[in-house]
Amino acid sequence: MVTSGLIQFDDWADIYASRVETMRTSAVRDLFAAASRSDIISLSGGMPDIARLPLDKVSEVAANAVKKEGVSGLQYGDTTGREQTKAVICRLMEDSDIHIKPEDLIVTTGAQQALDLLGKTFIDVGDVVITEGPTYLGALQAFSAYQPDVHTIEFDDEGMRMDLLEAELKKLGKRTVKFIYTIPTFQNPGGVTMSLERRKRLLELAHEYEVLVIEDDPYGRLRFEGEPEPCLRAMDDDVIYLGTVSKVFAPGLRTGWIIAPHPILQKIKMVKQGTDLCGSALNQVIVEHYFNDTPWKETLANINVKYWERRDAMLAALEEFFPPEARWTHPCGGFFVWVTLPEYVDTVQMLSVALENGVIFVPGDGCYPAGSGKGRNAMRIAFCYEEPEKLREAIRRLSMVIEERMALYRAFINAGAL
Ligand SMILES: Cc1ncc(COP(=O)(O)O)c(C=O)c1O
């Protein structure tokens, strides 16, 4: 290895697997380092407000985890998860009208691992998968390791556009798409929710073209306005459903789950054995006790009120400060607003200037497959993490950065340089 000052040359560059070449680091992960600086207002990560959890109760639950369960939480466990954890998850799913038994699911190390396991189970190099565009960048990252050809379908205020999906499926043909990955409720990064009509249409199209549907649902319980739409899995048992405790309890527990038809679960189980043998039993014990022994619904309802105030503060600030050319979504829950700026504003370039001004966000291009060239004039801004005054200040500062870019563009136009 040769090092020269700040540059470290990679002597191993020619031996990495080709899949690594097509992967890119998550902009959000890279930005988390900056997010922890006290002088930065972070609109970047989808981080739940864990400081509002009943921390005394959580400490008690964690401290008692070994005492109550004996050594079982410290031992290797079943690859598919602890029976007691699965029972808790089945109960949680009843609230979403999804009626399952413990054998219908596998506990995973967060929904993120579920995405990776699904990629590993279904995607061969070059396989077509369909996602919303933009979509969750962590899903793109997980799938990219298996080198799919990702086709994206735009959304509007009613979620993924079914006219575009139908046209795409027609073009691609029956049974050629491995799966459609969707976040129908409070989409990440869009914040939008798929209407009931579109949910029905999506399932019809999936049957007609024989395509699997993966429903990722981390935000469904974070609703502060409007009536819930049914989960896709509640409408169709063939849908693969991903859940997680990350946003309703704590992401540090890294506990999620996959519900899928049994033949698919068998394959995922096999794949998971090669990945981690089993997830953390101790974390699962903590999850069980949190959902069994604390008033978690009440806690979540109180935290949701905070998210609601923050969403209102963000939308009001956007209205107050952003230029009339900007457009943004109006989420009724979840964590994110998606902002679209004039074509010529490049949010990747904007990020470093915003950082100098003490604000970070996720540039839109990270929410599209690498090299697609889409989303460069868009950004994801999260309202979940900061207090209302700080959100207002962040939006004010961002608006100044945007205004500067727009003024520069106008000057180029006036000078005849563009
Ligand atoms: C849509 C979506 N899916 C999956 C995840 C990953 O969740 P987990 O913390 O359970 O791994 C996230 C996290 O932000 C997400 O937004």
Q: What is the DSSP string of 399-417?
A: HHHHHHHHHHHHHHHHTT-
Q: Where in the chain is the domain with CATH 3.40.640.10?
A: 55-293
pLDDT of residue 25: 61
Distance 111 CA to ligand 1 centre (A): 5
Cβ of residue 110 lying under 6 Å from some atom of ligand 1: yes
Cβ of residue 46 lying under 6 Å from some atom of ligand 1: yes
Ligand 1: residue of 216, 248, 385 to mutate (most ligand atoms within 8 A of CB) is: 216
Cβ of residue 112 lying under 6 Å from some atom of ligand 1: yes
**In which residue ranges of the chain is pLDDT below 50?**
none
Q: Which CATH architecture has domain 55-293?
A: 3-Layer(aba) Sandwich (3.40)
Distance 412 CA to ligand 1 centre (A): 41
pLDDT of residue 65: 86
Distance 415 CA to ligand 1 centre (A): 46
pLDDT of residue 32: 58
pTM across the whole model = 0.95
Cβ burial 360-374 (10 Å sphere, 16+ → b, else e):
bbbbbbbbbbeeeeb
Q: Among the atoms of ligand 1, which is closest to the Cα of residue 335?
A: 16
Cβ burial 202-211 (10 Å sphere, 16+ → b, else e):
bbebbeebeb
CATH of domain 25-46+298-414: 3.90.1150.10
pLDDT of residue 38: 81
* Helices within 322-387 (DSSP H only): 347-356
pLDDT of residue 342: 94
111-142 tens-digit pLDDT:
999 999 999 999 999 999 999 999 999 999 99
Distance 404 CA to ligand 1 centre (A): 34
Distance 182 CA to ligand 1 centre (A): 12
